[in-house]
Structure 1
């Protein structure tokens, strides 16, 4: 009986002991798995590089951080460590783009860019009349410098303007040496008696060439004719060269209407001749007038005439207000129309008003 009980107890004790040992083993196995926890490859900012290519890391292992090409670190530790819970230690490590210096625009040109950080681009252009020597673009590189130096904008050169035979050119400004540049111009002239055919203006163009050169040709005009009631300064019956002139005048009281001088033109014809216009007689002898800025009587006029295109003002009477006012009229080639309101004074009125006239 005792021995039976002892065996049972032993078995029970053995069972309890087994149970307890099993529990310790289970606990020990669980701890072992936790100790073996791993960290996966961290996902960081796109501009940060990891020194290792591993995908899984054991607790205690560290990774060194660095910046990709063209970026520079800002702050934070450069190492992160895998800890036992399968996470990484924290870091504020950041990478920002490298900067290139602000560029200077080319002389006589422009530059266009939005930023000066890594991989930014500059585009260069030149002003009109200048050509770009160098690269039209530059890129901000990983080392903080621009890929190409600032280009030059060189003025377009034309050389000296071609000169037509029997001609010359007068430049708009002083030219030194044998070079001229875009925008400079000049005026062509021909030596007498040659006439210029073509555009007298020349210009150095953006293509580096001069505009078309004109020609110088001989031009003559036939002997000019005299004008009626007039005379001319040169009566030679010969051909006259381009730009030669002849002057005209009028006889007696006739007045020259038009230019006094005519010139032999490029087309071989004379410029328009003047004509002699007749003066106008004053038909009224007893009239008060204003002539050449003075008040006078028609009877006091020398030769009793008004020259062609001259203006004389006659006095008309305002019977209501009992005063006089002036009305102008012009002499045109021998014709002088008296104002409709004008009435010639009687001899009595003429003598009475010869001293003063009351104006309105």
Structure 2
């Protein structure tokens, strides 16, 4: 019994409210608000004749009207076209040397700012349209990236590609590193002030030496007598007598401590025929008139062959290669009688094909 009494006492306020509501003919329930519209208080039931003021949530502005609705005796609210639309922020301008990205300029819209390569953003990279109709931060600046003077390796230097004034260097400026002899450069010789405001990796200057160079067969070299040669030191070569130098006249001590490729001396050749006529240096010569009988390496000489079907002669070239001169297979050396008595019938003397 006591339990039931306690329960009735607790429910009494709600029972009284229901009785009071029922006592009235019609009441209005709390109106359902359209998007972004609000009203003051938390009251849930309204008597006929009660006016309620409508307003816009922060970040929105009113459009049309009226701004008030009234509870009628039928328990319904009067009609209104009142609506709230988002506030707009001013159209943004892109930063100098940068870009912006956005879809709209209404309340809670955002703008993302970026800078072109070689520039760094000074300010907010993202801003939002506030309830006040203003952006959360001013347009940022894009300031050009700069580096200090390029670091110099020990025993080295840098040569900039353009005139530098002061201690600040703009993004994109480049230069070339060099080392003072006898030091060699290890790493990238080119330097650049990058978009991060830092220089590319600095190379090193290391001392390099080469052992005494070796001589070449049938040749000589011009070199001072010393046990070590420094980086970029050079040695010249030459050949004895009629030998011909093939390759570079000069070798150089390289970065890896080795000499560049040595040249070689190539031997002369002999035209190994006893009878016949040859074409040498633009002249037709009888072989016995070639004095001395010697061709230098790389020189070309022609012998004469016969086209028996066409009954005509033609010249075939061959080249002296390091002491070897191959006589073309078509060449037929005449007999002594034919050579001495009937020279006008030789392939070199008859009609040429």
TM range (shorter): 0.7 to 0.9
CA distance in 1, matches of 2:32, 2:88: 26
Spell out the pairing of 1:59-74 with structure 2 (5 A cutoff): 59-74=48-63
- Give the deviation of 1:159 after TM superposition: 1.4
- Give the deviation of 1:241 after TM superposition: 4.0
1:237 equivalent among 211, 219, 225: 225
1:215 equivalent among 205, 213, 219: 205
Spell out the pairing of 1:76-155 with structure 2 (5 A cutoff): 76-107=65-96, 109-126=98-115, 130-155=119-144
Q: In 2 relative to 1, CA 252–357 (structure 1 residues): closer, same or farther, beyond 3 Å?
A: farther
Q: In 2 relative to 1, CA 320–142 (structure 1 residues): closer, same or farther, beyond 3 Å?
A: farther
- Give the deviation of 1:334 after TM superposition: 0.8
Q: Runs of 5+ in structure 1 lacking a partner? A: 1-32
1:161 equivalent among 147, 150, 159: 150
CA distance in 2, matches of 1:53, 1:227: 108
Q: Does 1:178 align with 2:172?
A: no
Cα deviation code 1:246-302 (max 9, x no counterpart): 32222333210110012233455433321211122222452555x67x585574767
2:249 equivalent among 237, 256, 260: 260
Contact 2:312 2:347 in 1 (8 A): no
Q: In 2 relative to 1, CA 40–189 (structure 1 residues): closer, same or farther, beyond 3 Å?
A: same
Of structures 1 and 2, the larger Rg is shown by 1
Q: In 2 relative to 1, CA 117–263 (structure 1 residues): closer, same or farther, beyond 3 Å?
A: same
CA distance in 2, matches of 1:341, 1:358: 15
SS in 1 for 2:169: coil
Q: Does 1:358 align with 2:352?
A: yes
Q: Does 1:40 align with 2:34?
A: no
Q: In 2 relative to 1, CA 37–164 (structure 1 residues): closer, same or farther, beyond 3 Å?
A: closer
2:238 equivalent among 249, 253, 257: 249
Q: In 2 relative to 1, CA 77–319 (structure 1 residues): closer, same or farther, beyond 3 Å?
A: farther
- Give the deviation of 1:341 after TM superposition: 3.1
CA distance in 1, matches of 2:204, 2:234: 24
| Residue of structure 1 equivalent to 2:261 | 272
CA distance in 1, matches of 2:235, 2:202: 34
Contact 1:311 1:329 in 2 (8 A): yes
SS in 2 for 1:339: coil
Q: Runs of 5+ in structure 2 lacking a partner? A: 1-21
CA distance in 2, matches of 1:295, 1:67: 110
CA distance in 2, matches of 1:353, 1:325: 7
Q: With the length of structure 2 as denominator, give the TM-score of the two structures.
A: 0.73
CA distance in 2, matches of 1:340, 1:138: 90
RMSD (Å) for aligned C-alpha atoms? 3.7
Contact 1:162 1:213 in 2 (8 A): no
- Give the deviation of 1:123 after TM superposition: 3.3
Contact 2:313 2:348 in 1 (8 A): no
Contact 2:47 2:71 in 1 (8 A): yes
- Give the deviation of 1:139 after TM superposition: 1.3
**Count of matched residue positions in the alignment of Structure 1 and Structure 2:** 322
Q: With the length of structure 1 as denominator, give the TM-score of the two structures.
A: 0.71
Moved more, 68-77 or 121-130: 121-130
Contact 1:81 1:88 in 2 (8 A): yes
SS in 2 for 1:65: strand
CA distance in 2, matches of 1:36, 1:68: 33
